[in-house]
Amino acid sequence: MNIHQVKIFYVTAQTLSITKTAKQLNLTQPSISIQLKALEDDLNVKLFDRVKQRLFLTDAGKLFYKYAEEMLSLMDKASSVIDAFKAGSAGRLSIGASSTIGLYVLPQYIAEFRNKFPDAGFSISILNREEAMRKCLANQLDFAFVQSQVLHRSLDSKFFFRDELIAVCSPGNPVCRETKLRFRSLEKGLGTLVLREEGSEIGDLVIDRLGKLGVKLDSMVDINTTEGIKKLIEANLGIGIVSKITVDKELKDGILVSLDIQGFALKRDFYIVFNKNRKFSPLMGNFYEFIASKISTHVS
C-alpha cells in the first residue's frame, strides 16, 4: 500500500466511477483499476463491489475510507509544514547567549523576527562564553552570542553588538553631586563599588581596568546577577558598574543616575557564533540574515 493508491481509492470512493476518477486524477482507466486491485490485494480485502458496471463501497471500504481521509489530510499538513521549512519560515532555533544579550537585546529582535515568521520557534539558554562555545561545537546550539571574537577552527564569529559599561548610583547618593568624579574618590570613602562577581565577563573587565588605573578598593561588593546589582544600588549601597542597556528604563524613570567617571570609558563587543562545519537550515539562514541586517545599528 502506498499513498498514491490511497489517493486513488479516496477519489474513487467519492465518485464511485473509474471513468470520473481517471479524469479527475488525469490517469488512464486501466491504471486506476490496476492500483485499486493492488490495494485490495495488499489489504487482503474487497473495498468495492462491482455490480452491473457500477461501484459500491463494501463495509471494509467504508471503514477504510475514514482512515484514507485522515491519511491524506495528514499528508497535506506534512507537505505544508515541509514547504514552510524549506522556505525558512518554520522550525525551531536553539540559541545560547550571555545574560546581557539574552535578556536585554535578543527579545526585541526575536519578536520582530517572529512577526515575519510566526511559525518559527526559539529555545534560548543563558550561558557563559565557554558553555556556549562548547554547545556550538557539539551542534547543541544553532547560534551563540558571546563577548569578544571567537578564534576556533570550527567556529565562525561575526560582530553583532557593542556594549557600553557605565557607572550608576541612587539619586540619593552624594557621589552623584561630584562634578569631576574619579575612582580615586571611592578610595576616599564616597561610596562602595558594586559589580558582577570575579570570573564573570563584566567583573573581570572592571577589575582589570581598575588595576590599570591603579585603583585599589577595600569597599567592594560583588553579586552574580545584574538585577542584583540594580537592587543594591537602588537601595543606595554605593556605585554600580553595569551594561548601559540593562538600566535604560531605570535611568529614564529616575530610579538610577548615570555617573561620568573620568578615565572610565569601557566598551565590549559581542559576536554571533556558529559552527562553520554545519550547513544552515533555511530558518537558520533567514535568522542569520535578519541579525546581519541589524548589525550596523549596534555600533556606537
What residues contact 16, with CB distance under 8 A and at least 6 apart?
Answer: 54, 55, 56, 57
Q: How many residues does the chain have?
A: 300
Q: What is the pLDDT of residue 185?
A: 62
Q: What is the pLDDT of residue 189?
A: 53
Homologous superfamily in CATH for domain 164-267 = Periplasmic binding protein-like II (3.40.190.10)
Per-residue model confidence as pLDDT tens digits over 68-113: 999 999 998 888 778 777 777 788 999 999 888 999 999 999 999 9
Q: Is the pTM of this model over 0.75?
A: no
Per-residue model confidence as pLDDT tens digits over 276-299: 999 999 999 999 999 998 875 544
Q: What is the pLDDT of residue 300?
A: 46
Q: What is the pLDDT of residue 175?
A: 79
Protein fold of 91-162+269-298? D-Maltodextrin-Binding Protein; domain 2 (3.40.190)
Query: Are 8 and 25 contacting, i.e. CB atoms less than 8 angstroms apart?
Result: yes
Domains 91-162+269-298 and 164-267 share a fold: yes
CB atoms within 10 A of CB 200: 20
Provide the CATH number for the domain formed by 3-86 in this structure.
Answer: 1.10.10.10
Q: Which parts of the chain register pLDDT below 70?
A: 179, 183-191, 199, 217-219, 296-300
Rounded to 5°, angle at Cα 123 from 277 and 231: 120
CA terminus-to-terminus distance, the chain: 63
For the chain, give every domain's residue range.
Answer: 3-86, 91-162+269-298, 164-267
